[in-house]
Chains A and B, each alone.
Chain A
Amino acid sequence: MHNLTIAELVQGLQSKKFTSVELTQHFLDRIAELNPDYNAVITVTAEQALKAATAADQRLAAGNAPALCGVPILHKDIFCTNGVRTSCGSKMLDNFIPPYNATVVENFEQAGAVVLGKTNMDEFAMGSSNETSFYGPVKNPWATDCVPGGSSGGSAAAVAARLAPGATATDTGGSIRQPAALCGITGLKPTYGRVSRWGMIAFASSLDQGGPMARTAEDCALLLNCMASYDDKDSTCIEREVPDYSASLNSSIKGLRIGVPKEYFSDGLNPGTETAVRSALAELEAQGAELVEISLPNSALSVPAYYVIAPAEASANLSRFDGVRYGYRCEEPKDLEDLYCRTRAEGFGEEVQRRILIGTYCLSAGYYDAYYGKAQQVRQLIQQDFATAFEQVDLIMGPTCPSPAFKFGSKGDDPVAMYLEDIYTIATNLAGLPGMSVPCGLVDNKPVGLQIIGNYFDEARMLNAAHQYQQHTEWHNAAPEGLV
């Protein structure tokens, strides 16, 4: 059952080939058996899951089942779950049990999905390797000595290892697409404002966006149908009808104009990755798409601009973790300052502290214009680059990341090398555009991803292209050895 796609599971549940309780138990058993090898899931909610599965089976029997009724999924531990610990991968929130659901969690509940548990992640979503989690690193199911990517590494590894058919994730600078690429699955970061951020613990509010992870584009469409909604609890959520993302999957891509930015095939790109991405583009061309070389001239500025804006916002967003109302509090503080200093020094990991310091510095009197002000100008330029490009093309495609999964510790001493992991993904967050990653090959038996970037709210077109690619290729069905 764990090799079936969500589309197939929905079919199976509705045609009573198996029950949600059987399915849920199967995935719970797999988690119990295999998760110790990967550390992808950090909270298992077996009891609630089986209860929800029982309820789902009743609705399925009654014939009034909603779209994802009885389908087991996992939530990234950044989404608040009522009554279930939501740690954000941090010691700071190791004891935090929210009294409310994130809107995304609520939407899946409404759709009848069964939540198996919560997935591991880089602490407060800050990282590209899942090495910054308080709960220890996640191992890549394709090569357990390698990282799964981050920050949604737990969700990506869990889907790749078939511990769940789909999972929620978030992307601030590449946190859905990069781990999806490194774990050989499909992941989509929607347009900023498409998915509610209510109950999604903030890293960088103007960049954060939730999205789905699954093995296929078709499954991502099913998950996004449920995940995307207008929410008046999030002022940045955009009031716009949610289309049926499944409806246009089978449209022809004949005549689709695909922009290929020359800046995305620069020196830092692994030759194997480049070959895989080029052959994916050739496949799409063979299906009738037209490849157009384009330029995104300010691409090189995206990483430095991002590493000013994201830490600046994070430095304020994380101020609430002060040991006063909830979360970790240091032992026996001797005064208020000691409470703040030790709570935050003990409760936050090294990378989170680094980014708070960078952000605080960038916003400081005398530095604001040179850093934050300048970064916002760069952001405008990057948006303009994309706007110009989308006058000529329908979608933009290139590699998701420079190379396949790297070994644990290999970038640990060099934060900047780690930050360059997101060199191809960050620009879309700065522009607020949707982006996705689709498996397109193996290099040294490790997956690499094709990145698809769309115009604002053009997720349906991206999913259509991805689905058509997957109809003609098998990379999305490739599985780590022994896991099929």
Chain B
Amino acid sequence: MSNWDTVIGLEVHVQLATKTKIFSGASTAFGAEPNTQACAIDLAMPGTLPVLNKQAVHYAVMFGLAIDAEIGKESAFERKNYFYPDLPKGYQTTQLEKPIVGRGQVEIQLADGSKKNIRIHHAHLEEDAGKSLHDGNFRHGVSGIDLNRAGTPLIEIVSEPDMTSAEEAVAFAKKLHSIVTSIGICDGEMSQGSMRFDVNVSVKPRGSDTLGTRTETKNLNSFKFMEEAIAKEVERQIDLIEDGGSVIQETRLYNGDTKTARSMRSKEEANDYRYFPCPDLLPVIVSDETIEQLRRSMPELPDARQARFVEQYGLSEYDAGILGSDAPMAAYFETVTDQSGNAKLAANWTMGELAGRLNNEDISIGKSPVSAEQLAGMIARIADNSISGKMAKQVFEAMWAGEGSADEIIEARGLKQVSDSGALEQIVADVLAANQAMVDDYINTDEAKRKKKLGGFMGQIMKASKGQANPQQVNQILLQKLNELL
């Protein structure tokens, strides 16, 4: 066991799924040509003024309600001053003294099944900056600025330093992802930067009450990178101290491609942000009525949904945990269940084949080539014994490739399972007759080991039936016929 305790706190930037920016009417849609979604306000043209997007305020309040936090009935925007080319105004409009969401908490579950509360210090509304592009599209020494993202609404969620391992930090991050996507305030697209994590890490001698000096690793945009970055940083700090050195307070960057981290700036180089209240914006007043209205219309939270999946569909805690934590996946699963009438198969196929394939090809479930309706159609055919599990895999492949519904594919490929017992008995009898040596071998084998010999017969039978025999039925007939020979 290590001689060191790890202390981790997170700052999480969540892009809110509003159609327009927090202070302008420009679109927030991802992926447009650079600078085509930046209006005069986003460009900080002289004389332009911000107007607060009410939807962003409502989304922030919804987050507060989701984590059972105090809602700031009067919050205020401030200016955080620093110069950077992708920050058009030379200040970021954010909240400091009076954030919209106060103290709250999030419960996480760890791999061993234990649960832990992570306290939220506060969450505040702010605008995103643009992007600086330093890649090969520009001649040496020239950087590009894309202001499409400038002014995208964010909430920054600041946790207390309540996590003690990378596992806990990742569980917390995933739980936040689950919450914000479940209540529909964020699209959760990590690869598009919709959630970004800053990780504060320090170590201290085991059991010590005194916190060590912390570093902040900024802008991690995947759970995997976050886990790696924390592991590396903990190791670096421990090595440093054990070698007689000391950790300096600094901001660090982790490169997930090269798996390396580097210092970005030390505390001495840190900006004095000169926060002060933004005179262009009035205090944000959220009435009790608005809060109640939002509370009443809150979508189901992941914890409630998981409990319901156990209750309503008879799923295991584990399956409910996986399916219930991801809002789009949960919705997909429920559609498949509703339309196929088989929750168990719906759960297995959604979590198994479908999730695996989506994951491998890095496709979100919302863009799945196989729709929930298609998958339900296939599951209905498994349930009524029209196709075997093995055939279903072929059908799934074909659906993925865009060949149509399960029924169409079954028809086109002649995949209908043979469940007619007369026909199956004939096939079994033919196979046994043609393989007398195998039959003898079976009879001469100890009873305990006979079961292992069945596979050979099954293979022959399935081959003879061109894979269309109903395996359960074949198994039954085969055992019956072999027993008659004993």
Contact = CB atoms under 8 A, between A and B. Distances in A.
A312 B276 contact: yes
A235 B89 contact: no
Contact of B49 (A234, A318, A363): A234
A358 to B, nearest CB: 13
B145 interface: yes
Nearest to A344: B83
A372 B81 CA distance: 15
A316 B79 contact: yes
Given A316-B79, A364-B272, A206 B282 contact: no
Interface in A90-108: 93, 96, 98-100, 102
A320 B42 CA distance: 11
Interface in A29-75: none
A115 interface: no
Given A102-B47, A233-B51, A368 B85 contact: no
Interface string B79-108: 101010100111100000000000000000
Contacts of A88: 46
B276 A372 contact: yes
B46 A325 contact: no
A477 interface: no
Contacts, number: 98
A233 B81 contact: no
Nearest to A205: B279
A381 B226 CA distance: 51
Q: Please classify the interface of chain A as helix (H, G, I), strand (E, B), loop, or mixed, using the class held by over half of its residues.
A: loop
Given A205-B279, A235-B52, A336-B85, A325 B43 contact: yes
Contact of A320 (B52, B89, B281): B89
A140 interface: no
B50 A325 contact: no
Contact of B45 (A98, A205, A312, A336): A98
B272 A235 contact: no
Nearest to B143: A336
B91 A319 contact: yes
B40 interface: yes
Contacts of B274: 315-316, 360, 363-365, 368
A363 B274 CA distance: 5
Interface string A194-213: 00011111101110000000
A51 B79 CA distance: 43
Interface residues of A, number: 43
A18 interface: no
Nearest to B50: A235
A411 B40 CA distance: 39
Given A80-B46, A86-B46, A93-B46, A235 B51 contact: yes
B50 A319 contact: no
Given A100-B40, A316-B79, A201 B46 contact: yes
Interface string B20-61: 000000000000000000001001111111111000000000
A235 to B, nearest CB: 5
Interface in A155-210: 197-202, 204-206
Nearest to A337: B83
A320 B280 contact: no
B386 to A, nearest CB: 61
Nearest to A90: B46
Interface in B259-278: 272, 274-276
Contacts of A316: 79, 81, 89-91, 274, 276
Nearest to A199: B47
A319 B89 contact: yes
Contact of A326 (B45, B49, B91, B279): B45
Could you say which of A86, A197, A322 has the most chain B C-beta atoms within 10 Å of its C-beta?
A322
B202 to A, nearest CB: 23
A1 interface: no
Contacts of B81: 315-316, 319, 363
A322 B282 contact: no
A336 B132 CA distance: 13
Contacts of A421: none
A197 B90 contact: no
A324 interface: yes
Nearest to B282: A235
Contact of A340 (B48, B83, B145, B282): B83
B276 A96 contact: no
A322 B90 contact: yes
A363 B83 contact: no
Nearest to B141: A335
A363 B276 contact: yes
A101 to B, nearest CB: 10
A380 to B, nearest CB: 14
A197 B51 CA distance: 12
A236 interface: yes
Nearest to B77: A235
Interface string A289-330: 000000000000000000000001101101110101110000
A335 B354 CA distance: 50
Contacts of A204: 279
Contacts of B85: 322, 324, 336
Contacts of A338: none
Contacts of A80: 46-47
Contacts of A206: 279
Contacts of B280: 202, 205, 235-236
A468 B275 CA distance: 47
A346 interface: no
A232 interface: yes
B43 to A, nearest CB: 6
A233 B276 CA distance: 22
24 contacts: A80-B47, A86-B46, A86-B47, A102-B47, A197-B47, A197-B49, A198-B49, A201-B46, A202-B47, A206-B279, A236-B279, A312-B276, A313-B276, A316-B91, A319-B91, A322-B83, A322-B85, A325-B44, A325-B88, A336-B85, A363-B274, A364-B272, A365-B272, A365-B274
Given A325-B88, A363-B275, 17 more contacts: A100-B40, A102-B47, A197-B47, A200-B47, A204-B279, A205-B280, A233-B49, A233-B51, A235-B281, A315-B274, A316-B81, A316-B274, A320-B46, A322-B90, A324-B145, A363-B274, A368-B276
Please list the 6 inter-chain residue pairs (A to B) with the smallest Cβ-Cβ separation, ordered nearest first: A319-B90, A206-B279, A363-B274, A205-B279, A199-B47, A320-B44
Interface of B: 40, 43-52, 79, 81, 83, 85, 88-91, 145, 272, 274-276, 279-282
